[in-house]
Structure 1
Amino acid sequence: MGSVVSQHNSRLFTSESVTEGHPDKICDAISDAILDGLLSKDPRSRVAVETLVTTGQVHVAGEVTTEAYADIPTIVRE
């Protein structure tokens, strides 16, 4: 995720790992499905999509430039 340079000129690398079913994994899967769906119909699509989840709610935010259509509510439910 990031690195920090200490006063001794060494680096400390950190990372995060989450398991299947974690909200981050679910969000990534939804965003990836939207991206894949758009790119399969329009390879020139430009997609910057983030998915946010909380209890009983899913929000998809970002910007898309494409000639394709993605049925986002259906993608989220799948």
Structure 2
Amino acid sequence: MIPVRLIPVVFGLVLSCLMSLLVSGVSTLRSTGPIDGFLGIWMGAWLPSWIIAFPVVLVVAPLARRIVSNLATPAEGKKR
């Protein structure tokens, strides 16, 4: 188990990994088509994308949470 204090970092790690994997895969497929060696090209595009995405997620996630919490309405009888 991971310590509770590390949950936001591990969440950012997993989120950035999956999102950059999917986005780089779609982008690579659109630019190369389904060619031989596609997987190697994809992984070559994914790793630098993930290296950028991970710190960006750590910085942007708190801002996104703040924006979403400002858009949400509090439950009846509860103050924000």
TM over 0.5: no
Higher relative contact order (CA 8 A, sep 6+): 2
TM-score (ref. length: structure 1):
0.34
Q: 1 or 2, which has the higher helix percentage?
A: 2
Structure number with greater Rg is: 2
